A and B are shown apart, each in its own frame.
Chain A
Amino acid sequence: DAGVTQSPTHLIKTRGQQVTLRCSPKSGHDTVSWYQQALGQGPQFIFQYYEEEERQRGNFPDRFSGHQFPNYSSELNVNALLLGDSALYLCASSSDGPTQYFGPGTRLTVL
């Protein structure tokens, strides 16, 4: 059983560009959450998708947007990249239970 997968593993962009990160949830999971982890800090919740709708959102600007597809996979889009967007972006999947399982993350570097 494949766990949560994310692509790409690493990404380098320049300021002002746009980026799309992808996540496939664990088999049987229908909910995807995205987190941003800056260097030396704990993950910060960005938003959560369920039934192709954004169900909950953290304190992130509108430059951060997402999408969930009918197969439950998800994308995170960030527009007008800033240096401060450099971080590890983590995707987590869950179902009805209380646990969220995380993928390996995408390391985004903004130059």
Chain B
Amino acid sequence: DGGITQSPKYLFRKEGQNVTLSCEQNLNHDAMYWYRQDPGQGLRLIYYSQIVNDFQKGDIAEGYSVSREKKESFPLTVTSAQKNPTAFYLCASRQRTGINYGYTFGSGTRLTVV
């Protein structure tokens, strides 16, 4: 079955370390997204990519970086510059056209700074 896979499900990071969250999709979707979820804050857009080798900053991109070298993959790196990285991170992809257009979400990665 097609879908989005995020790994790992839980991730612990020491202060000052960079960590990379994986997001892979086999839906053949062009667009991919990273959201951050904090309690009571809803979902906030970090980065998005509409085609391979291109990506744009979302509302809270500071302290994060991404790459989009393959259509299927959109990894997110949380850098040491991100001052409060503890959160639940959700990846999504989207089919932009056709009658079944819409977003598909992964099951998330919970990042905790220790």
Are A and B co-members of a single complex?
A: no
Interface residues, chain A, CB within 8 Å of chain B? none
